[in-house]
Structure 1
Amino acid sequence: MIAVVEQHRPGPGSRQAARLGGHVPSIDTRRLQLRGPRIYDFAAYAKILCSDRAEYMGGPYSRTEAWSDFTQYTALWLLHGHGLWTIDAQTSPSAGFVLLGYEYDDPEAELGVFLTEEAEGQGYALEACEAARDYALGTLAWDSVVSYIDGENSRCCRLMERLGAARDRAAETALGDGTFVYRHKRGDA
């Protein structure tokens, strides 16, 4: 069942939301567009987070938990000037999501990515992460950004290595929960 809060509500409020969303930077890559999330993107977000695809992200989530996560990462744009992008591929709108995010207990901002099952295996995660990383290190002038990875998520670990990130053992020790911390630094790409 789709909750009322998930449904588009036409009128002045939705027009204002569209204007605000238009201020989220879009990034065009060779095959993708990273753009601000819209209410209709939540269906794809929930499909990922409410399934076994969220195994290494603390899931599967309930739909209510997925909504809270989606709105938190979307709100980061207003609070910190970075947040969640929807990944639109040429053949698949809402193919997944990439973020420069913060969870409440995170010691620093995180580069993360998750895709729909249909978008897997096409190189979209690498292309989206490169674009978001370059935005963080270039446009936002960060010295580095981290990716927090479950040590059992070997596919994501390989992705981080392909991106040129290296494990930060000091950050892993500080977290103390077994999470791998991959650090992306300016000039490493």
Structure 2
Amino acid sequence: MSYPDVQLETERLLLRLPRIEDFERYAELRADEAACRHIGGHLPRGAAWRRFLQMPGAWAVQGFAMFSVIEKSSGHWVGQAGPWKPEGWPGNEIGYVFHPDAWGRGYAFESAVAAIDWAFDSLSWDEIVHCIAPDNVASQRVAQRLGSTLRGPVRLPPPAHEAAVELWGQTRAEWQAGRTSRG
């Protein structure tokens, strides 16, 4: 299977496939306890490396996965955002996670808008979801700003099956109806 060459651009961000040079900042993110408290906990460097390889692997096998999000002004990797659908997942997810030094800048929203547009247009998805911890208020705010609504609790497949998770989502029609108000 060939590795797709997909790149999205927003006003401030470049969304592209993961590269080896992204790993250092990814490892910093995964080592940060506060940044990872809602996504399964922080990871030591070796475990972060194995987790980092999931996205290039998903791109190669599924033809989609989360993008590396690059801040255009600095060239820094600031996070991951985009489509994600592991085996047994409760829907076609648009996920997002960002390095703590990128928090509060609107990057999750900006990159998610581009990723949702791409998923609906290129993957022909009819619905997207976000799996969010009930106490992750910042992520809930992003989901709400995107136009997603709370659908209720959901159980993820093992090994994340014990985590408390709420499902947020919207259909393609809902996304298109609200698209002009989101910018």
Shorter-chain TM-score: which interval?
0.7 to 0.9
- Which of 23, 29, 40 aligns to 2:21? It is 40
Letter in structure 1 aligned against 2:44: S
* Residue from 141, 144, 148 that aligns with 1:161: 144
Looking at both structures, which has the greater relative contact order when contacts are Cα pairs under 8 Å and sequence separation is at least 6?
2
Q: Give the equivalent residue in structure 2 for 1:135.
A: 118
Distance 1:41-1:174 versus aligned 2 partners, 3 A rule: closer
Q: Does 1:31 align with 2:17?
A: no
- Corresponding position of 2:60: 78
- 2:129 pairs, out of 133, 143, 146, with 146
Q: 1:187 aligns to what?
A: 173
CA–CA distance in structure 2, aligned partners of residues 173 and 180 of structure 1: 6
Q: Which runs of 5+ in 2 are unaligned?
A: 176-183
Larger radius of gyration: 1
Give the total of aligned pairs.
167
- Partners of 1:68 and 1:104 in 2: CA distance: 17
> Corresponding residue for 1:4?
none
Give deviations 1:105-146, integer Å, cap 9, x for gaps: 423332111111221111111000111111111221100121
- Structure 2 matches for 1:45-124, cutoff 5 A? 45-52=26-33, 53-92=35-74, 93-124=76-107
Q: Distance in 2 between matches of 1:156 and 1:182?
A: 10
Question: Aligned letter for 2:164?
Answer: G
CA distance in 1, matches of 2:154, 2:19: 37
CA distance in 2, matches of 1:37, 1:129: 16
Q: Which ranges of structure 1 fall in alignment gaps of 5 or more residues? A: 1-19
Q: Which residue of the partner structure matches residue 16 of structure 1? A: none
Paired AA for residue 89 in structure 1: E
**Fraction of identical pairs, as percent:** 29
1:64, distance to aligned residue in structure 2 (A): 1.9
Question: TM-score, normalising length from structure 2?
Answer: 0.83
Distance 1:174 1:119, change over 3 A: closer
Q: How does 1:168-183 map to 2 (within 5 A)?
A: 168-169=151-152, 172-173=153-154, 178-183=164-169
Task: Give distance in 2, aligned partners of 1:173 and 1:67.
Answer: 28
* Moved segments of 4+, more than 6 Å: none
Conserved 8 A contact 2:90-2:154: no
Give 1 or 2: higher helix fraction.
1
